[in-house]
Every structure is written in structure tokens, then in C-alpha cells.
A and B are shown apart, each in its own frame.
Chain A
Amino acid sequence: METIVFSLLNGVIYGLLLFMLSSGLTLIFSMMGVLNFAHASFYMLGAYFAYSIAGVTNFWIALILAPVLVGLVGAAVEKWGLRSVHANGHVAELLFTFGLAYLIDEVVKIIWGRNAVDYRVPELLDFPMFELFGAQYPAYRVFILLVSVGMLAALWFILNRTRAGLIIQAALTHPHMVGHLGHNVPRIFMSVFGAGCALAGLAGVIGGNYLVTDPAMAVQMGPIVFVVVVVGGLGSLTGAFLAAMLLGLMQTFAVGIDASFADIFGWLGLSATSELGGITIASLAPMIPFLMLVLILMVRPRGLMGDREL
């Protein structure tokens, strides 16, 4: 029972954090047809910006200012970088974001050093919210939950219920028509890219002190985010949400299960002392995202909710 409750709570939080990161990526992809390899680097920038801003002022100002700053950096990258590369096709764009990821990595190392920085949870939220089965549940996790749900609602509202959302959705599928109607399509692209990066930045702000803020965080998070986007279906926000939740829950549940292959397949005569039988479900947890990626590409190449083939 306690395993289920804890896994559920942790899984949902991890899933929401993953979704916040991947929503920007999938938005950018559906708009420009380009997988932004530097996306996780914007997540890292968000965490570092928040650390610096929180050092001078406080966490709450950083919570607002850091994503805005990351969004501005993203917009600038689109305007002066990606846009001119765009003329040379998708491969050039892909390579551009690839290079950018390394560039941001190095810049972060030069400015903030190679070690983890002391980016802390704000004191106001640094207390155990409640106690469940003997383990404390930090208030900051509940805060992450609230921020993520708030962001999810806001994103949904903007895309589906506002005029700006309407234009963005139109520009995604019919950019020329939108242009002919008098909208500035490059500016829409720029703002969507910026907003996508800002979302990654926000994930960095609340994820950086929940996990660890160090120069390796982008490299560690990058592959998982791609898995979420591909499994969910490239370009689909709903899909990304489902995939993020699925991944978050599956990973935490797998860790919580104490069974090994021998327990499950014991009826086949698999003993716990054999190489295969000794493998525990928990040890498979980090493999799950990539297993899902491979399976999805085999069975359903366009992802859970995607509408185009890879």
C-alpha cells in the first residue's frame, strides 16, 4: 500500500517535470519541424539563472525572472541563429542546435564552474508537508506539483481558447496562408521558440533545486526528453503529456517493486540464483524509457498521439 501511494506521488511529480520540459520541445518541433537538441541546455540555463538571481534577490523573483530570461535567450537564438540556418534545410538546423548544446555546456562551465552549485529549495518551502508511513513528504514537491499543473492549464488555455493560440495553431499547419492574412509568421516562430525555451527554463528553475544543478544536468536529461517526445508522438502536446506521465509512473513503480525475474517466471523453472533470475525489476527502471522508445518505434512509429510518421 505505502509503495503504491509513494510511487504514485513521486511518479506524477517526475512525470509533470518531464512534461514541462518536453512540451516546449514538441511545440518547437511541430512548428519548425526541427528537433531542438539544445532543449535540455535551456533547462540547465533556467536552473543556473535561477541560482544566480536567487542569490541576489530571492527564489520567488527567480521563479518569474529566470524563465523569462531563458525565453529571451531562446528567442534571440531563433532570430539571429536558426532563422539564417533555416535556409539550408533541416540537417543544418539539426546540426546548429547540436552545436548550440555543446556551446551552452561550455559557457555554463566557464561562468559557474564545473561543480554543482548550491541552489537550494527556498526556506519557506523547506519543511515536511506531511508524514506518510514514516517517511516525510517535502512541501517543495507539492509546490512542484502545483506549478506544473498551473502551467499545464495555462498552456492549454492559451493554445485552445485565445486568439494568439488560434494563430499559432494555424501557423503550425499553414504558415503561408497565415502570412498572407497579414500575420508576421517569423515573429510567431520566434515567440513560440522563445516560449518553448521559457518552459524548459521554468522546469530548470523548479527542477534544479529538486535534483542537482551541475553542468551535467543537460546531458543527463536530454535523452529522456527525446524519449517522451517520440513516444508521445512528435508534435503532439497531449501525447507528450501522456508519455511523460507514463514514463514517470513506470520508472518510479519499477523501483518500488521488490520482485526479481525468478519471482515472476519461477513457474517456468527460473531459479533466483541463475544470472537471469537474479535480475530485479528495480534494476530495470532506467532502461524502461529506452525500451519504450524502441517498442513504440517498432509498433507505432508515429507515437501515441502523433499524426505524422517520423
Chain B
Amino acid sequence: MKLVKSAALAAAMGFAAMGASAETVKIAFIDPLSGPFGPSGDAGFKQWSHAVSEVNEAGGMNGADLEMVPFDNKVSPKESLVQLQKAIDRGIRFIAQGNGSSVASAIIDAVNKHNKRNPGDEILFLNYAAVDPAFTNEKCSFWHFRFDSHVDMKMSAATDWIAERDEIEKVYVIGQDYSFGKAVASAAVGQLEEKRPDIEIVGNELHPLGRVKDFTPYIQKIISSDADAVITGNWGADMVLLVKAAIDSGLEAPILTYYGGSLGAATAMGEAAVGQVMQISEFVENYPTTDEQIARIEDFEETYSENDYYYHRAYNAVHFLDMAAEKAGSNDPVDIAFAMEGMTYEGPYGTVTMRAEDHQVLQDLFVSTFSADVERDVEDTGLGWTASDEARIPASATAPPTSCEMERPSR
């Protein structure tokens, strides 16, 4: 009986979705759009909007136009839940968010709860940047899909890079004092221990999030520790100020970053950081790629002249959504979620797979270097990010096992 009922419901939903196909499918974008982290959210929104317009030009998602709707959450988990409720009340059934694992964690809980209480009215969470490993491990949810490689995956790229270099004997880890920074630190220490037990961790420091103005004292500690390499997960202003102080104080060790491409970082680093600062990401602006991708980058930077192309994963997310909807023949979140599991997409930087077990994306990663010899610069500095083929780490090498035990809804 129950089966019949849910089947009938699904059919009704599918029918409703078909009926609405001439209309638009909205995606709520819940991220900081004002305040100190405003620039990060704003850049993300532009990138998503651009990605969505691409799908719309190609005929939309099963014929329906996609539309991004911004909601400002001020990086606060509490505010995010208010905004999420607002989005739900407006009938929006796709949520995109990325900045802050604390926020993503709150949204996952809320989405789980909502979907349990409102069968037939499910919503889907597309996470494009919150990288706490827990979301695709012990905290995994059927309603959550992550389009960025998580902390441990990126760290395996960084530690591989270090492990190959015998001259590196001492490593210093510095990060922001919250769940993400701690995850980075423990991943770095754990993985280095395994790959190069001879390496000494000469410093493992956490500083408060967004409150340090002058990192010089920290840098001087790093210099006096004789570190041969520095690992940091810092983002936003913390990233910019850290590298700036490092350059000013003449720190010579390479700095491995997660977010060296943070808005404003290139400007602050300048020529002094060339060859010294590295970034682990799924996208490198100067890596050889397809003509379509170059056209896409150019079109984005022309449309939003203030920004540089950065969140490539927003395109991955939107294209996965579009492809899944086409495969399922429906714009219903449940059908899309099932269709998206295990799906692959031939992207301009290699094959991207959505692992079915934990809804974690698997993609090639790059250890890119800040360089002066680039075709495409960032922030009009004449400097930019480049990577060689050796710096490309195949998806398979970055894919850790998952502890996720996914609970799937019945179909």
C-alpha cells in the first residue's frame, strides 16, 4: 500500500515537474554576500549564475530555465537556517552553498529533517566548497552532494608533493582555529607520518579565525623553526595577510595552500611570491585545456570584469544537475539525486565522477604554482597560477575510502 502511495506520489510529482517545465527551476544560493567574507560569496554567485546561463542557452534543464536566487547568510549557521526556510517557503528545491563547513553542517541537518517530514517535497543540497571530510563520511546524507574535494583529498595531493622532495625535512603547519583548520592540521600530520616518517613537524599552530592583523610574529616563529615547507588551509583575509607577512619577512620555504587563489591574495603576494606559493585545486587557469573551456573563461571574465574565473566546480555542479535531470527524465530532486549517483562527466580538466557511496566528487587535482610566466593573470597583476603535467594528481590517487553508510529513501 505504502509502495503504491509513494509511486503515485512520485508520478504526481513527475507530472507536476513536467507541467512546470515551461517555467523556471530555481536554485537558492545561500552564502555570505556582505561583510568581511562577502567577496568570496559574491564571486561564487557570479560563477554559478554564469554556469546556469550556459545550461539555459543550451535549452535548459529538461526545457526549464534555471535561475539562481541569492540569500545572504553572513557565514552564520543560524542565519543560514532562516534563509533556508525562506527559500523553502518560496518553493525552491535546490540549495547551493559553499563558504564555511559550520554552515554546511547546519544545512545538512536541516535538509535531512525537512525531507523526512515532507515526503514528496524533498530538497537537494549542492555543496560546492565546504570541505570538512565528515560530510561524506560519518555525517553523510543522501540529500547532500559535494562538488569539491575534501580536506583529506587535497592534503593527499600536498603530502605527495612533499614526499617526493627529499630536501624537505621539516614542515610547519599553520591554520585557522575552527573545525576546518583542525581537520587540515590533523590530515597533514597523519599523512606525512605515513608517507615520510622521517619528516619532523616543527610547528602545528592554530590562530583565531579572521582576527589576526599582522602575521609577522607567526612568520618569525616559522623562520626560526627552520621549516623547509609550510602547509596552510587559510582562506579569505587570513590567507592574504599570512602570505603578505611571509613575503615581507623573507620566508623562503615553499608555502602549500588550499586557497592561495582567494580573492585579493595575488595582489597582496606580488612578484615576491612567484615560485614560492602553491595551491591545491581542481582548476588551474593556465593549464592547457579545451577551446570551449577557454571561451568559457573569457566569457566569464568579460561578463564580470571585476572577477577572475575561480570556482570551476560551480560548472561541474550545474552540469551534473542538468545531466542527471535529463537522465532521470524529470526535474524532481529525488529522481535527480538517484540519477546523479555514480554519474561521470568529461570535464575540461579530466573525468569527474560523483561517487555513489558517499556523494563525494572524485576529480583530478593540481598542485599549481604562482608564476610570472603566464598567459592569463589574476587580479590584473601580470601574475597567475600554472601547473605542469607532473603537478597533476589523478582522481584515483586522491580518493580515500569512506566510512559512509548511506540511508537511501525507498523509490
Closest approach, in angstroms, between the C-beta of B380 and any C-beta of chain A?
8
Q: Please, how many angstroms separate the alpha-carbon atoms of A289 and B220 in the complex?
A: 22
Q: Which A-chain residue is minimally distant from B223 (CB atoms)? A: A135
B208: CB under 8 A from chain A? Answer: yes
Q: Is A10 in contact with B267, judged by CB distance below 8 angstroms?
A: no
Q: Which A-chain residue is minimally distant from B216 (CB atoms)? A: A10
B17: CB under 8 A from chain A? Answer: no
Partner of A211, one of B38, B210, B213, B219: B213
Contact-size category for A: 35 or more
A136: CB under 8 A from chain B? Answer: yes
Q: Which B-chain residue is minimally distant from A207 (CB atoms)? A: B213
Given the known interface contacts A219-B36, A282-B205, A283-B207, the answer about A117 and B267 at a Cβ–Cβ threshold of 8 Å is: yes
Which residues 229-267 of B sit at the A interface, judged by CB distance below 8 A?
A: 237, 240-241, 244, 248-251, 263-264, 267
Q: Is B36 in contact with A216, judged by CB distance below 8 angstroms?
A: yes
With a cutoff of 8 Å between Cβ atoms, the chain A residues found around residue B211 in the complex are: 220, 286
Q: Please, how many angstroms separate the alpha-carbon atoms of A154 and B317 in the complex?
A: 59
Given the known interface contacts A116-B267, A118-B379, A283-B208, the answer about A138 and B248 at a Cβ–Cβ threshold of 8 Å is: yes
Interface of A is mostly: mixed
Q: Please, how many angstroms separate the alpha-carbon atoms of A223 and B18 in the complex?
A: 54
Given the known interface contacts A7-B217, A114-B38, A118-B379, the answer about A212 and B264 at a Cβ–Cβ threshold of 8 Å is: yes
With a cutoff of 8 Å between Cβ atoms, the chain B residues found around residue A131 in the complex are: 250
Q: Is A114 in contact with B220, judged by CB distance below 8 angstroms?
A: no
Q: Is B237 in contact with A256, judged by CB distance below 8 angstroms?
A: no
B306: CB under 8 A from chain A? Answer: yes
Q: Please, how many angstroms separate the alpha-carbon atoms of A280 and B248 in the complex?
A: 26
Closest approach, in angstroms, between the C-beta of A123 and any C-beta of chain B?
11
A133: CB under 8 A from chain B? Answer: yes
Q: Is B249 in contact with A116, judged by CB distance below 8 angstroms?
A: no
A255: CB under 8 A from chain B? Answer: yes
Contact-size category for B: 35 or more
B118: CB under 8 A from chain A? Answer: no
A14: CB under 8 A from chain B? Answer: yes
**Count of A-B contacts judged by CB separation below 8 Å:** 106
With a cutoff of 8 Å between Cβ atoms, the chain B residues found around residue A221 in the complex are: 213
Q: Please, how many angstroms separate the alpha-carbon atoms of A137 and B223 in the complex?
A: 12
Q: Is A116 in contact with B263, judged by CB distance below 8 angstroms?
A: yes
Q: Please, how many angstroms separate the alpha-carbon atoms of A282 and B206 in the complex?
A: 9
A263: CB under 8 A from chain B? Answer: no
Given the known interface contacts A3-B224, A118-B267, A135-B224, the answer about A252 and B217 at a Cβ–Cβ threshold of 8 Å is: yes
A115: CB under 8 A from chain B? Answer: yes
A134: CB under 8 A from chain B? Answer: yes
Which among B241, B244, B264 has the highest number of chain A CB atoms within 10 Å? B264
Partner of B306, one of A115, A255, A286: A115
Q: Please, how many angstroms separate the alpha-carbon atoms of A116 and B380 in the complex?
A: 13
Q: Is B42 in contact with A114, judged by CB distance below 8 angstroms?
A: yes
Q: Is B267 in contact with A2, judged by CB distance below 8 angstroms?
A: no
Q: Please, how many angstroms separate the alpha-carbon atoms of A220 and B36 in the complex?
A: 9
A214: CB under 8 A from chain B? Answer: yes
**Contact indicator per residue, chain B 98-129, by CB within 8 Å of chain A (1) or not (0):** 00000000000000000000000000000000
Closest approach, in angstroms, between the C-beta of B214 and any C-beta of chain A?
6
Closest approach, in angstroms, between the C-beta of B322 and any C-beta of chain A?
30
Partner of B241, one of A2, A118, A128, A212: A212
Q: Please, how many angstroms separate the alpha-carbon atoms of A176 and B48 in the complex?
A: 62
Given the known interface contacts A115-B306, A116-B268, the answer about A134 and B36 at a Cβ–Cβ threshold of 8 Å is: no
Which residues 30-46 of B sit at the A interface, judged by CB distance below 8 A?
A: 35-36, 38-39, 42
A113: CB under 8 A from chain B? Answer: yes
Closest approach, in angstroms, between the C-beta of B224 and any C-beta of chain A?
6
Q: Is A136 in contact with B249, judged by CB distance below 8 angstroms?
A: yes
A261: CB under 8 A from chain B? Answer: no
Which residues 219-269 of A sit at the B interface, judged by CB distance below 8 A?
A: 219-221, 252, 255-256, 258
A79: CB under 8 A from chain B? Answer: no
Q: Please, how many angstroms separate the alpha-carbon atoms of A137 and B220 in the complex?
A: 10
Q: Is A115 in contact with B264, judged by CB distance below 8 angstroms?
A: yes
Closest approach, in angstroms, between the C-beta of A165 and any C-beta of chain B?
32
B161: CB under 8 A from chain A? Answer: no
Q: Please, how many angstroms separate the alpha-carbon atoms of A19 and B249 in the complex?
A: 24
Partner of A115, one of B39, B205, B220: B39
Given A6-B220, A116-B267, A215-B38, 8 further pairs, Cβ under 8 A: A14-B213, A116-B240, A128-B250, A135-B223, A255-B221, A256-B220, A283-B206, A285-B212
Shortest 7 CB-CB contacts between residues of A and residues of B: A116-B264, A136-B250, A255-B217, A216-B36, A286-B211, A118-B267, A135-B223
24 contacts between A and B (CB under 8 A): A3-B220, A6-B220, A10-B216, A114-B42, A115-B263, A115-B264, A115-B306, A116-B263, A117-B267, A134-B224, A135-B223, A140-B248, A211-B213, A211-B214, A211-B241, A220-B211, A221-B213, A255-B221, A280-B205, A283-B177, A283-B207, A286-B208, A286-B211, A287-B208
Using CB atoms and an 8 Å cutoff, list the residues of chain B in contact with chain A. Answer: 35-36, 38-39, 42, 177, 205-208, 210-214, 216-221, 223-224, 237, 240-241, 244, 248-251, 263-264, 267-268, 270, 306, 379-381
